[in-house]
Chains A and B, each alone.
Chain A
């Protein structure tokens, strides 16, 4: 009689067990990969100059502020600057001359900005056209924004209202041509 636990049988049993194990392993569903954690590599603080109105709506009040930008791109920086401008002056920030007044109401929509070479194009939200400002107020809105954008780069700023070319914003200012620095000089 042949022995049951012969070398051959033992080896064959081991091989069979390994095969069964391998079969089971390959039949298991693959583990779900974990999504990689999003990290903004280029996030950094940039110092920008923002312009607001003085209490007489005559002069510009300058504030220097740090804004966070995710890319080293002029349009992204300009957009971040406008976000700071629309948020209004912040208490405790250094102001060059006098106490500043916000030019648009708090929580207003932020204008969107595009850059074409040396020329900015700013799309003012339609809600701005409903602001109840006089001639000095309208000029202050457009010029504080112009000065804020042109502080870093660019030659002029063309304004659109609600995504379209407009004759005026609030009935006083002429928006047919772009605004340059000399249009917004100090009085």
Chain B
């Protein structure tokens, strides 16, 4: 009996040890599978310092990459036909996009760094997002890279020299590394901004006859080089890269054609368009064509002061909508003049309607998105410019003892065509007795016209002084 019990216990013990061995095997297998899974995932997220800012990097097969959206705060990244283009800091890099991540990290790829083709890691994708290798970026952008650290040497303008020529003069700006150069032609003054570069403020005189002096100033966005552009002269800017750094060459003179004449003419003489609404028989309660009277008076004052003014109508006849839209598209300031009308209302006073919506033309909206780019501000103004003009006009009217209301409007037909400041000035309400009396008084309407002319002139002068049209 005892033997039988012992053998039974031994069997139970063997079974228990077999069970625990089995579960251990299962756990080990599970662990191996987990490790294999981790090993299979060939990317990990890393913490990266990108030019002094904290960003997220991705380590793919041991090579550190950065997402195109993260990099876009430093350079412009675009892709087309399987090629990633990195444009900025004075360099252009072309990296083929290899969907095979492992192959992309090797040096078997040919990438183009400015004018050189080299073997280096190239761009790839992770979950559809474009990734760019930091080693190749550092090589192409003259940056320093150690894992987790991508930095640029501080750019500095180290020298300015000149060369006098027969048909053009040359200015050479020497920098320790390449930077983005922005050009702005404001009237007859050319301004180059060396983005992110430091410089000491100084005036330079040259021996050239076309380019007698150059002013270098240290500004917030980088070194600013300002020079006068002689009448009939054009200019050309290009960058030369060498081992010691880079040089920005600027040629100015009559031997170089000026390729932005229309824009210059626009900047020198902005167009003000006044659009008096044509009301049926002057509207009830207002016997005169008040909108036309105010527009004519304001136009006369502005013309006398040397501004270029056009009216959308100069007679009692209503102009064609297409003609009004055409003038609005050409305008630097567009002001519609109208009277409020609505049956049974109890409203009075002057109201300024500012256009705040999307422009009819998609190209105008696109330019508004790119306000930081050079010359864009001279072609299309930000939407806030209408608010600026509106505030100036309110101030002028207030100084004449007339309080004006402000109302943003997003769906206005003719104002939506104007690429720059656009307003609708409602002079009063035809059914309001107080407004009828005010609009019947010629002195009051002349006051409003004067306020309008002063506001427009102040706005355009301030814009010109700030370097925009």
Contact = CB atoms under 8 A, between A and B. Distances in A.
A173 B345 contact: no
Interface in B400-432: 407, 409-414, 416, 424, 426, 429
Contacts of B416: 174
A134 B343 contact: no
A55 B345 contact: yes
Given A55-B345, A55-B347, A137 B411 contact: no
Q: How large is the interface on A (under 10, 10 to 19, 20 to 34, 35 or more residues)?
A: 20 to 34
B40 interface: no
Nearest to B416: A174
A73 to B, nearest CB: 30
A168 B412 CA distance: 9
A139 B341 CA distance: 12
B372 interface: no
18 contacts: A102-B344, A132-B280, A133-B341, A134-B340, A134-B341, A134-B429, A135-B412, A136-B340, A137-B340, A137-B341, A137-B345, A139-B411, A168-B321, A168-B413, A173-B412, A174-B360, A174-B413, A183-B410
A135 B345 contact: no
A81 interface: no
Interface of A: 53, 55-58, 101-102, 105, 132-137, 139-140, 167-168, 171-176, 179, 183, 187
Given A134-B339, A136-B351, A167-B321, A174 B411 contact: yes
| Main SS class of interface, A | loop
A53 B344 CA distance: 10
Contacts of A133: 341-342
Given A134-B339, A167-B321, A172 B413 contact: yes
A167 B413 contact: yes
A45 B340 CA distance: 38
B410 to A, nearest CB: 6
Contacts of B341: 132-134, 137
A53 B414 CA distance: 24
B346 A176 contact: no
A57 B342 contact: yes
B430 to A, nearest CB: 8
Contacts of A136: 340, 342, 347, 351, 407, 426
A168 B321 CA distance: 10
Interface string B255-296: 000000000000000000000010110011000000000000
